[in-house]
Structure 1
Amino acid sequence: MTSPEQPSEPTYAERVFRSPAAIAGGALLLALGAWIGIDAVVRGHGRTPWLALAGLLLAVPIVVAFTIRPAVFANDDRLRIRNPFRTVVLPWASVADVRAGYSSEVFTQGGAKFQLWAVPVSLRKRKRAARRQSQSAHDDPHSRTSVSADVNDSRARTADADHTVAGLRDQAERCASRPEAQGDPQVRWAYEVLAPALAGLVVLVILLATG
């Protein structure tokens, strides 16, 4: 009896990258908007409750789109980018490069560019990491006693976005040859965000125009 074939390469769980600061800010804005909107609906008179409801219908999807929704999902087969108004699926073979300049971006073999909203670049953190790296090299350039210590210290001296982008770039190079990582980019509009926001905008415009 022959044993079942073993995979030639190990597979790893999907990694998820999000911005904790954006999520916290979005939650705060939603709580504030809910408090103001519900108060206007309960205590408002005349057209005020309807204006408040239309405003919430417009504002809530927009806040969610730019703060809570953005995420990057990476596994051995593909990179999935969830931006405010689009979801992009990129098999690793279609990825040409991943870079972090003033923003984090991924480039496809066909020349398309997509921003990684969930991996924001902080120039302040990057400058602080550069100062730590320079200071560490000046104070103690040869003191590493183990590989793990060197890796941990290297991560401490690299800005979060730069470290994430470097990891995604390495994964793209490592996984691009996998049969499961072949294919063309796929882009889908986030209608679950656009539809309610557009409906709220239309209702708000009608209410203001007929006031």
Structure 2
Amino acid sequence: MTSPDNSPSRPAQTYADRSYRSPAALVCGVLLLALLAWLGIDALVNGVARTRLLAVAGLLLGVPLITAFTLRPVVRANTERLTVRNPFRTITLPWGSVEDLRASFSCEVFAGDKKYQLWSIPVSLRQRKRANRRTAKAGAAVRGAEPADVQRASADQSLDELRELQERNAGREEAQGAVAVRWSYEILAPLAAGAVALVVLLAL
């Protein structure tokens, strides 16, 4: 295996974004959307006028809501920035602005005096306890020595990778700048319209 060329005469290699998603959330989102579509289409085809209006309002409310919390969340990272796409907003953090990444009961990134949750990297306390038990057993097997293969929960592994990227790239000129937050109006607008329509129809 060849070692990387660290010659200063060559530009730093830029890697494609690393993406972090929750497979369980993706599966759950697809199933919920399929169920909602089946119920909505059935109501539109077989229902009376009021039922059809309720179905349209329900779809306007339900589709963006399910999408926001299951399919939308993702964390992307490259050599310049960390991009956090949460249910209702997208946060872009140049590595130079990131102060810390932590995983306790949830995964969080700290920049300035702000804290942002990483929705797409859920913390499983059960998985973490299981990994710690395996590591402890491996250490006991070699009489207290540090085990060669330390077990880590998937969320902790993801945070380890992100910390490594932050430490490696925080000093890059391309990784400087302010944190940018953008609200996801493509999700919020139909969600609000569906909620208002549903409230009006139920009140009539």
Partner Cα separation in structure 2 for residue 45 and residue 11 of structure 1: 57
The counterpart of 1:178, out of the listed 161, 172, 175, is 172
Task: Kindly state the Cα deviation for residue 87 of structure 1 after the two structures are TM-superposed.
Answer: 0.2
Report the counterpart of residue 4 of structure 2 in structure 1: none
Counterpart contact for 2:139–2:146, Cα < 8 Å: no
The counterpart of 1:14, out of the listed 12, 17, 33, is 17
Report the counterpart of residue 128 of structure 2 in structure 1: 126
Unpaired segments ≥5 residues, structure 2: 1-8
TM-score w.r.t. the length of structure 2 is 0.92
Output one character per residue of 1:84-141: Cα deviation in whole Å (capped at 9) or x when no partner: 0000000000000000000000000x11000000000000100110111111111236
Partner Cα separation in structure 2 for residue 121 and residue 143 of structure 1: 25
Q: Are positions 1:60 and 2:54 aligned together?
A: no
Instruction: Find the residue that maps to 2:182 and give its secondary structure.
Output: strand
The counterpart of 1:193, out of the listed 187, 193, 196, is 187
Q: Are positions 1:46 and 2:49 aligned together?
A: yes
Task: Kindly state the Cα deviation for residue 143 of structure 1 after the two structures are TM-superposed.
Answer: 9.8
The counterpart of 2:36, out of the listed 28, 33, 36, is 33
Partner Cα separation in structure 2 for residue 92 and residue 72 of structure 1: 14
Instruction: Find the residue that maps to 1:121 and give its secondary structure.
Output: coil
Q: Are positions 1:206 and 2:192 aligned together?
A: no
Identity among equivalent positions (%) equals 56
Q: Which one-letter code corresponds to 1:102 in the other structure?
A: F
Unpaired segments ≥5 residues, structure 1: 145-149
Deviates more, 1:93-102 or 1:43-52: 43-52
Q: Which one-letter code corresponds to 2:159 in the other structure?
A: V
Instruction: Find the residue that maps to 1:80 and give its secondary structure.
Output: strand
Q: Which one-letter code corresponds to 1:11 in the other structure?
A: T
| Cα 1:177/1:143, change in 2 over 3 Å | closer
Q: Which one-letter code corresponds to 2:125 in the other structure?
A: L
The counterpart of 1:72, out of the listed 67, 70, 75, is 75
| Cα 1:91/1:143, change in 2 over 3 Å | closer
Task: Kindly state the Cα deviation for residue 202 of structure 1 after the two structures are TM-superposed.
Answer: 1.2
The counterpart of 2:86, out of the listed 78, 83, 91, is 83
Instruction: Find the residue that maps to 1:47 and give its secondary structure.
Output: helix
TM-score w.r.t. the length of structure 1 is 0.89
